Amino acid sequence: MRRRILLLHAHPMPHRSRVNRHLVTAAESIAGITIRHLYELYPDYMIDVDAEQKLLLDHDIIVLQHPFFWYSAPALVKEWLDLVLQYGWAYGEGGTALQGKSLLQSVTTGGAAEVYCSAGRNRHTVREFLLPFEQTARLCGMTYLDPFVVHGTGQLQTEADLAPHSQAYCTLLSNLASGIDLPPSP
Amino acid sequence: MSDPGFFQSALVYLTAAVISVPIAKRLGLGSVLGYLAAGVGIGPHVLGLVGGSSSSSEVMHIAESGVVVMLFLIGLELKISALWRMRGTLLGLGGSQMLACGMILGVGAWLWGIELKSALLIGFILALSSTAIVLQTLREKSLHATAGGRHAFATLLFQDIAVIPLLAILPLLASTSASAANDIHSATHLSGAMQGLAICAAIASVVLAGRWLLPFLFSYIANAGLREIFTATALLLVLAIGGLMSLVGLSPALGAFVAGVVLASSPYRHELEGDLEPFKGLLLGLFFISVGASMDLQLILKDPLGITLLLAGFVIIKGSVLAALGKLFNFAPGATPLYTLSMFQGGEFAFVLFSQATTLGILTLDQSARFNAIVALSMALTPLALLAGRNWLKPPTDSDATPHREADAIEHSSPVILAGFGRYGNYVGRLLRSQGFRPVVLETDAEHVELTRRLGFEVHYGDATRLDILHAAGAQHAKLLVIAISDEETIDLLVATARRHFPHLEIVTRATGMDHRLRLIQQGVHHVFHELAGSALDAGTQTLRLLGIPAYPAERAARKFRRWDIESARDLAPIRLQDESAYFAIIRERVANLESLFRSDPTHEGSADAKAWQPPSSPKTPPAQT
Ligand SMILES: Cc1cc2nc3c(=O)[nH]c(=O)nc-3n(C[C@H](O)[C@H](O)[C@H](O)COP(=O)(O)O)c2cc1C
């Protein structure tokens, strides 16, 4: 059974983006995927909660794609979570709308892979930094998939540098779409 | 008009009022007492400048229309729903007051030696209080919206209705009914049923005309743009209704009140209020003066003890009954003294009824003169009584503030006045309404008023630059004045008027251009908005997006520009009027500044904001990433 993917892309300055733009362009090739650029839709932060909830209902896999900003997501992603995942709808009493769906976070970091470990400069893994997102998904009854991370974006200058990442991303997305399960994150 | 007598009496009345009313007010006695004193002064017994009760009956007639206009205005402030909510108080309290006061005063008169039937009639006539005196005095002291004031108002309204049966009963009591009845009200010739029918028809026609005909008439007149004709129409309307009502034997004041209630939800309400208010004041003044002039000083001087005893008896009995009613009906604390002290006097209808009773032979001339005298004296006592009792009336203001059943009988005004409901104002109005605020909207374009009303908005026809209209719209209680008028001069005029007369009002205003905006800021208006800035920047934002700038940066650029624009206006305003060349130099500088402010070159030493979301691109990246 094919599963429908909703990709929510959040980048405040898409014209200055290199990595995220490359990734999201590649994702357009996935059949049946729905891509939404949050900063284009809501430059005034006036998120249309009804529209967002309806889209969530219509899809099985939700992808949150964004650059890593101060060990977290750009502000509009937070605003989106705060407004869309309402009590009684996404969680709490009667809040079962997202039950059984999966959340995949796709993150690009300026820092290299080595700095994201307990011995590294940042002292924690990316996965650890994303803990609030993970728990949010869990509370809503969603499966939190192992995040897709591209490290060291400063080093990825050419098309050749970027290509392997977009290939890996596309493979992951099409596997998800055709129902091949990733191992749920540990 | 060529009659010199007219100028003479006008001169006398006006001079008397101009001299005595301000003195009375300064002494804290209120305007009513001033007018009454003026009347006594020019009356036949002191200066003799105007005739006695018989010759001034003409004036009395004109003066009574003051009461009619007043009740019309009171009606205008009461929506039907508010009146309906009052029905309990109106019938219960009003009915009990008439019944109790009438019976007990009647028995008093009987004991005084009057034949029982006539005594009861006198009792009921004396049970009436003076709408004019009570309401004018309470308003002047801002006591009309308190619990006691509202009870008084409901009672007065009931009394105005009770006048009808009293008028009808008079001829039945006449000993020589056949000979005297012809002098009575035309309507009483009709049989009871016919009169009832006529009254219903008259009220129905007032209600129907108020609903369907008058709005049409007003918008027609208003469209003609003739101010004085609008005023004339308003006055004509009130007097015509008064005439119609007395034709069917109803109190003209009551008819005007009904018409007022019907028109309370009309968009022309504020305009009518503004136009009629000065007439009301003057006519009421005339009324009080003629009451003063008709006071029979001779009689009082001839038998001071008798009159004093009669007056004391009347006031004490009526006052005690009123106080007892206050206890019985469980008034809020403080309401009973106010009710008693304001309602104990006799009413203006007593004069009419006593004179008719005399014509009919029910009362002797001497009796009616005495009763007229005590009514007039009790009226004069009212402001004094309220003055004497003011400490007593004061304390429980808090409990008055606690919401009471009929609390909105006298409607509370909105915190926002919106002047202008055209292409600009309707946006402001709709936004406010979407958040549950109901601004009092003032608009001068009659066609616009109708349209907007049909769309379901509460709009009032009225020129907001007029002080009386601002008053009628409740500017003294409002917090904010939003000016959405398109004409620069009108905006300036309104700003000046509002700041002079209602300095507490915070002004939010539209400005027609950069110069206008600077001028308004210079004058100290804090919230000034260029009428085109919003739309122009929206268009600019969209253009940026079509040029390929992503939505969020385009949005931020527009917002930043707007902020820069507002700051520029604030900085430029003080310079604009002083020094033209310095002004243009600063403008040039600021424009240059603007470009650097927005340049997004990371190496540029501009504002930090220009580097928003600049990723660390050089090898010397922030510590976190290396
Ligand atoms: C405001 C801001 C905060 C950032 N914070 C971090 C961070 O905490 N950790 C990190 O590894 N990179 C951080 N970076 C670098 C971005 O993650 C990097 O520029 C981005 O992922 C590149 O993707 P793009 O080419 O799609 O813009 C930050 C960048 C910006 C502008």
Domains of chain A with bracketed CATH: 5-177 (3.40.50.360)
Q: From the list B555, B614, B616, which residue is nearest A154 (CB)?
A: B616
Closest among B129, B200, B189 to B163, alpha carbons compared: B129
Locate the chain A residue with the closest alpha carbon to B626: A111
Closest listed residue to residue B338, CA positions, set B411, B400, B274: B400
Please answer whether residues A103 and A73 qualify as being in contact, where contact means their C-beta atoms are separated by less than 8 angstroms.
no
Q: Is B620 on the interface with A (CB under 8 A)?
A: no
User: Is the CB of A20 within 6 Å of ligand 1?
Assistant: yes
Report which ligand 1 atom has the smallest distance to the Cα of A23.
Answer: 26
Q: Phi and psi at residue A115, in whole multiples of 5°?
A: -75, -15
Asked if the model's pLDDT at residue B54 lies above 50, the reply is no
Q: Across chain B, which distance is largest between two alpha carbons, in Å? A: 120
Residues of B in contact with A153 (CB under 8 A): 615
| pLDDT score recorded for residue B395 | 41
| Closest residue, chain A, to B620 (C-alpha) | A154
Does residue A149 have its Cβ closer than 6 Å to ligand 1? no
- State the average pLDDT over residues B361-365: 84
> Which residues of B fall within a CB distance of 8 Å from A41?
551
Predicted confidence band at B397 (pLDDT cuts at 50, 70, 90)? very low
Structure tokens at B613: 């979301």
- Please report the residues numbered 556 through 575 in chain B whose beta carbons come closer than 8 angstroms to any beta carbon of chain A: 556
Contacts of B367 (CB under 8 A, 6+ apart): B114, B358
Structural domain total, chain B: 2
Identity at B63, one-letter amino acid code: A
Contact yes or no for A12 and B552 at CB 8 A: yes
CB B200 within 8 A of CB B235: no
What share of chain B has pLDDT > 90, as a percent?
23
One-letter amino acid for residue A174 of the chain: S
pLDDT value of residue B623: 43
pLDDT per residue as tens digits for the range B541-554 = 999 999 999 999 99
Same domain, B233 and B362: yes
CA distance A43 to chain B (A): 4
Q: Are residues B514 and B558 in the same domain?
A: yes
Tell whether A44 lies on the interface with B, counting CB pairs under 8 A: yes
Q: Assess whether pLDDT exceeds 70 at residue B413.
A: no
Beta bridge mates, A102: A61, A143
For the residues B554-562, what does the mean pLDDT come to? 92
B350 vs B145 pLDDT, higher one: B350
What is the C-alpha to C-alpha distance for residues B53 and B372, in angstroms, rounded to an integer? 10
pLDDT tens by residue, B123-139: 999 999 998 888 888 87
Q: What is the pLDDT of residue A84?
A: 97
Highest averaged pLDDT of the listed ranges B51-65, B151-165, B251-265: B151-165
Residue B177 pLDDT level (bands cut at 50, 70, 90): very low
Length of chain B: 626
Same domain, B91 and B239: yes
In a domain, B487, yes or no: yes
d(CA B331, CA A107): 72
End-to-end CA gap in chain A: 25
Ligand 1: does its nearest atom lie under 6 Å from the Cβ of A74? no
CA B526 – ligand 1 centroid, Å = 41
Contact B473, B418 (CB under 8 A): no
Is residue B474 within 8 A of residue B417, CB to CB? The reply is yes
Q: What is the pLDDT of residue B96?
A: 93
B118 and B222 fall within a common domain: yes
Choose the closest CB to A15 out of B550, B615, B616: B550
The secondary structure of B29-79 as a DSSP string is S-HHHHHHHHHHHHSTTTT--S--TTTTHHHHHHHHHHHHHHHHHHHHT--
Domain-embedded: residue B407: no
Query: Which pLDDT band holds residue B282 (cuts at 50, 70, 90)?
Result: confident
Angle (deg, nearest 10), helices B551-576 and B580-598 = 160
Task: Please check the confidence at residue B190 and state whether its pLDDT lies above 70.
Answer: no
Pairwise CB contact (< 8 Å): A40 & B551 = yes
Using a pLDDT cut of 90, give the percent of chain A over it. Answer: 94
Which of A9, A13, A47, A115 to mutate to probe the B interface, most B CBs <10 Å? A13
Taking the model in full, what pTM does it have?
Answer: 0.62
Q: What per-residue confidence (pLDDT) applies to B609?
A: 65
CATH number at residue B542: 3.40.50.720
**Do A43 and B623 count as a contact with CB atoms less than 8 A apart?**
no
The answer to whether B551 contacts chain A (CB < 8 Å) is: yes
**Does residue A164 have a pLDDT over 80?**
yes
Ligand 1 centroid from CA A124, angstroms: 16
Say how far apart CA B274 and CA B285 lie, in whole Å: 18
Please give the pLDDT value at position B52. 52
Cα A102 to ligand 1 centroid, rounded to whole Å: 25
For an interface test with B, give the residue of A9, A11, A16, A48 to mutate (most B CBs within 10 A). A16
- Same-domain check for residues B224 and B312: yes
Q: Are B289 and B215 part of one and the same domain?
A: yes
Q: What residues in B contact A109, CB-CB < 8 Å?
A: 625
A70 touches ligand 1 (CB under 6 Å) = yes
Q: How many CB pairs under 8 A join A and B?
A: 55
**pLDDT > 80? residue B444:** yes
Please, how many CA atoms are within 13 Å of residue A86, restricted to the half-sphere of its CB?
Answer: 12
Average pLDDT, integer, range B279-285 = 82
Compare all CA atoms of chain A with the CA of B545 and give the residue at the minimum distance: A40
Written as six digits, the tokens of A62 are 């939700």
- DSSP assignment of A103-172 equals EEEEEE-SS-GGGSSTTSTT-S-HHHHTHHHHHHHHHTT-EEBPPEEE--GGG--SHHHHHHHHHHHHHH
Domain boundary among the residues B392, B408, B435 is at B392
Contact (CB<8Å) B613/A16: yes
Query: What are residue B60's DSSP bridge partners?
Result: none
- Structure confidence at residue B332 as a pLDDT band (50, 70, 90): confident
pLDDT greater than 90 at residue B219: no
- Domain of B189, CATH number, reads 1.20.1530.20
* pLDDT band of B396, cuts 50, 70, 90: very low
Instruction: Determine, yes or no, domain membership for B2.
Output: no
Same structural domain, B435 and B301: no
Of A39, A67, A71, the CB nearest to B552: A39
pLDDT tier for residue B393 given thresholds of 50, 70 and 90: low
* Pairwise CA distance, residues B274 & B444, whole Å: 14
Whether residue B445 sits in one domain with residue B318: no
Instruction: Tell me whether residue B171 is in a domain.
Output: yes
Residue A65: CB within 6 Å of ligand 1?
Answer: no
Nearest CA to ligand 1 atom 8: A70
pLDDT classification of A81: cutoffs 50, 70, 90: very high
CB of B352 within 8 A of CB of B368? no
For residues B381 and B491, membership in a common domain is answered with no
Answer yes or no: are the C-beta atoms of B355 and B368 closer than 8 Å: yes
| Predicted pLDDT of residue B277 | 81
Nearest CA to ligand 1 atom 4: A69
Q: How far apart are CA B208 and CA B193, in angstroms?
A: 22
Q: Is the residue at B625 inside a domain?
A: no
Of the listed ranges B269-283, B307-321, B399-413, the one predicted with least confidence: B399-413
- 3-state class (DSSP) for residue A6: strand
* Max Cα–Cα distance, chain A, nearest Å: 50
Indicate the average pLDDT of chain A.
Answer: 95
pLDDT for res B39? 86
Which chain A residues contact residue B625 at CB under 8 A?
109-112, 115, 154
Q: For A110, which of B552, B553, B615 is closest by C-beta distance?
A: B615
Determine the distance from the C-alpha atom of residue B265 to the mean position of all C-alpha atoms in its chain, rounded to a whole number: 14
Residue range B598-624, pLDDT digits in tens: 665 444 445 566 677 777 764 444 444
Q: B423 and B375, same structural domain?
A: no
* Same domain, yes or no: B385 and B453: no
How far does residue B146's CA lie from ligand 1's centre (Å)? 66
Give distance in angstroms: CA of A113 to centre of ligand 1.
14
State the average pLDDT over residues B404-409.
29
Sheet order of strands, B440-443 included: B459-461, B440-443, B416-419, B480-483, B506-511, B527-530
Structural domain that includes position B536: 416-599
With beta carbons under 8 A apart, name residues in chain A contacting B542: none
Q: Searching chain B, which residue's CA lies closest to the CA of residue A70?
A: B624
- The answer to whether B195 and B188 have CB atoms below 8 angstroms apart is yes
Nearest chain A residue to B624 by CA distance is: A122
Residue A139 has pLDDT above 90, yes or no: yes
Complex-level ipTM = 0.86
Q: Where are the alpha helices (DSSP H) in B174-213?
A: 177-180, 192-208
- Given a cut of 50, whether residue B200 has pLDDT beyond it is yes
Q: pLDDT tens digits, residue range B509-538?
A: 999 998 899 999 988 999 999 999 999 999
For residue B615, is it within any domain?
A: no
How far apart, in whole angstroms, are the C-alpha atoms of residue B472 and residue B470?
Answer: 5
Q: Is the same domain home to B359 and B481?
A: no
- Alpha helical stretches, state H, B389-457: 390-393, 397-401, 425-434, 446-454
Q: Is residue A140 scored above 60 in pLDDT? A: yes
Q: Which residues of B413-441 are buried (b: 16+ CB within 10 A; e: fewer)?
A: ebebbbbbbeebbbebbeebeeeeeebbb
- What is the whole-number distance in angstroms between the Cα of residue B579 and the centre of ligand 1? 49
Is B267 a residue whose pLDDT tops 80?
no
In a domain, B398, yes or no: no
- The secondary structure of chain A in percent helix, strand, coil, rounded to multiples of 5, reads 40, 20, 40
Query: Is B618 domain-assigned?
Result: no
**Chain B nearest CA to A74, separation (Å):** 10
Which residues are bridge partners to B417 per DSSP?
B440, B481
Q: Which of A69, A73, A71 is nearest to A103 (CA)?
A: A73
What pLDDT, on the 0 to 100 scale, is given for residue B128? 93
Residue B612 to residue A40, Cβ atoms within 8 A: no
| 3-class secondary-structure state, position B502 | coil
